[in-house]
Amino acid sequence: MESDLHQVIKANDDLTPEHHQFFLYQLLRGLKYIHTANVFHRDLKPKNILANADCKLKICDFGLARVSFNDAPSAIFWTDYVATRWYRAPELCGSFFSKYTPAIDIWSIGCIFAEMLTGKPLFPGKNVVHQLDLMTDLLGTPPLESISRIRNEKARRYLSNMRRKHPVPFSQKFPNADPLALRLLVHLLAFDPKDRLTAEEALADPYFRGLANVDREPSTQPISKLEFEFERRKLTKDDVRELIYREILEYHPQMLQEYLRGGEQTSFMYPR
């Protein structure tokens, strides 16, 4: 891939509504696949989306991605030091720990889509408080029901004491955008994560009529816990030595076979 979406947005002020639609469609298809595997990307931003001259996009940089297992206790929380601040969901702002749902990635996609529409980041906060201020300037003060579910007491108090803000109509914020695109964007950028669409639901939105086919959008099986057993295994020095030795043998097939047959210790300095 020759470029990334950040460069595409920066270098092109003439992206068409068709570009906007096709780009968002690809992002949601990729996100649906990731989420059906129970993986949360956690760092979606234009620089982490590769692009080529054919307008094909690919999600990259899974360095902060995490797997969520269905049978995990509901009290599991992960550090919120994820996602570049500008694309960070509100439930991750002002709290050092927060329970995650796939909605954190949906919010990031909404921010990216809004940036496509205007050519500028939607919420370029200078710090966490400024970030929350920018969000509420556009979306309005969240209802008390949503505020009450925020785990961090300081963030909860800050939003509760905030002056009452009314939401800005998206048609006013994005005057030249397709009304169907804005209707979808409202549901991607819902302040409360439970009010955001899933990737699958978003793909079924009328905005993608004629482009999306719900029955053929990609999905996969959830990742098994067994694939992460190595993270739970306690290794001794001898275990580590054995694993390194086995890795070296992978590059010497004949000696590996001899080792697996239980022969005498193979010497690399003096092979037989």
What are the φ and ψ backbone dihedral angles of 163, each rounded to 5 degrees? Answer: -60, 145
Q: Which token pair is 211?
A: 């482009």
The Cα 53–Cα 69 span in angstroms is: 37
Do 163 and 103 contact (CB within 8 A), yes or no? no
Q: Could you tell me the sign of the dihedral formed by the alpha carbons of 244, 240, 66, 98, in that order?
A: negative
Query: How many Cβ atoms from other residues are within 10 Å of residue 188's Cβ?
Result: 23
The Cα 64–Cα 61 span in angstroms is: 8
Catalytically annotated residue among 4, 13, 14, 43: 43
Contacts of residue 152, defined as CB under 8 A and 6 or more positions apart, other chains included, come to 94, 95, 96, 98
Contacts of residue 128, defined as CB under 8 A and 6 or more positions apart, other chains included, come to 85, 93, 94
The Cα 265–Cα 248 span in angstroms is: 14
Q: Check if 43 is active-site.
A: yes
Q: Which token pair is 128?
A: 């966490």
Catalytic residues: 43
